[in-house]
């Protein structure tokens, strides 16, 4: 049971059909390098905590939010994160505020999947182990994606003449364009 939900959590994050999570992670990681992996790990974990909290609350039927609203808010989180990157790129730009944003945005992203997970868990007599498995799968999936993003970024910066600032602008611009398209599609 744990393994099934763990796999489902990894798939939830890494599934290309749910590319909004991947785009969010790309934009979230845009201002970080391998040297700042600890700060990035905390940032991604803050996102997972928010994601996990809303999944647990929704699965227990303690919160229920209009799914259409959440589907519009998810690309808004990408848009806001990308704009933060463009204002003044760098890890120290917003200090602890960036972690608060990641936690809050995790709450929103978690609500996006909560109805489906609630349906899956409705047949379980105890949701503790499945919910733990799913949330750990989400974290592992995110960390794998983050590792890939950092590796690709390192390769681009190390083997091309692209400057860090230009790459941040490019990734954030892609995030802005993609999120605007998603917002329009979902409205």
- Which of 152, 185, 184 shows the shortest CA–CA distance to 170? 152
Q: Are 15 and 72 in contact (CB under 8 A)?
A: no
Higher pLDDT, 88 or 22: 22
DSSP letter (8 states) at residue 62: S
Whether 94 has a pLDDT exceeding 80, the answer reads: no
| pLDDT value of residue 179 | 98
Whether 103 has a pLDDT exceeding 80, the answer reads: yes
Whether 85 has a pLDDT exceeding 80, the answer reads: yes
**18 contacts: CB under 8 Å, gap ≥ 6:** 12
| pLDDT value of residue 118 | 82
Q: Report pTM.
A: 0.91
Whether 49 has a pLDDT exceeding 70, the answer reads: yes
Q: What is the mean pLDDT of residues 80-88?
A: 88
Whether 91 has a pLDDT exceeding 60, the answer reads: no
- Concatenated DSSP letters of 12-54: HHH-GGGHHHHHHHHHHHTT--GGGHHHHHHHHHHHHHHHHHH
| pLDDT value of residue 29 | 94
Whether 108 has a pLDDT exceeding 80, the answer reads: yes
- Concatenated DSSP letters of 63-113: ----HHHHHHHHHHHHHHHHHHHHHS-STTSSTHHHHHHHHHHHHHHHHHH
Q: What is the mean pLDDT of residues 148-155?
A: 95
In our burial notation (b when 16+ CB lie closer than 10 A, e otherwise), range 85-105 reads beeebeeeeeeeebbebbbeb
């Amino acid at each position: 049971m744990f393994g099934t939900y763990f796999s489902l959590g990894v798939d939830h994050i890494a599934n290309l059909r749910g590319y909004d999570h991947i785009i969010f992670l790309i934009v979230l990681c845009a201002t970080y390098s391998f040297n700042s992996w600890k700060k990035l790990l905390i940032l991604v974990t803050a996102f997972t905590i928010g994601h996990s909290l809303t999944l647990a609350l929704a699965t227990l039927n303690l919160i229920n939010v209009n799914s259409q609203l959440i589907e519009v808010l998810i690309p808004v989180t990408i848009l806001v994160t990308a704009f933060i990157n463009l204002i003044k790129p760098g890890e120290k730009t917003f200090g602890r505020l960036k972690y608060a944003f990641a936690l809050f945005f995790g709450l929103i992203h978690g609500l996006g999947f909560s109805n489906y997970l609630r349906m899956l868990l409705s047949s379980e007599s105890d949701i503790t182990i499945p919910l733990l498995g799913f949330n750990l799968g989400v974290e592992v999936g995110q960390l794998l994606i983050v590792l890939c993003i950092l590796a690709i970024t390192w390769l681009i910066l190390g083997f091309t003449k692209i400057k860090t600032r230009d790459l941040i602008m490019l990734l954030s611009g892609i995030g802005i364009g993609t999120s605007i398209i998603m917002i329009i599609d979902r409205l």
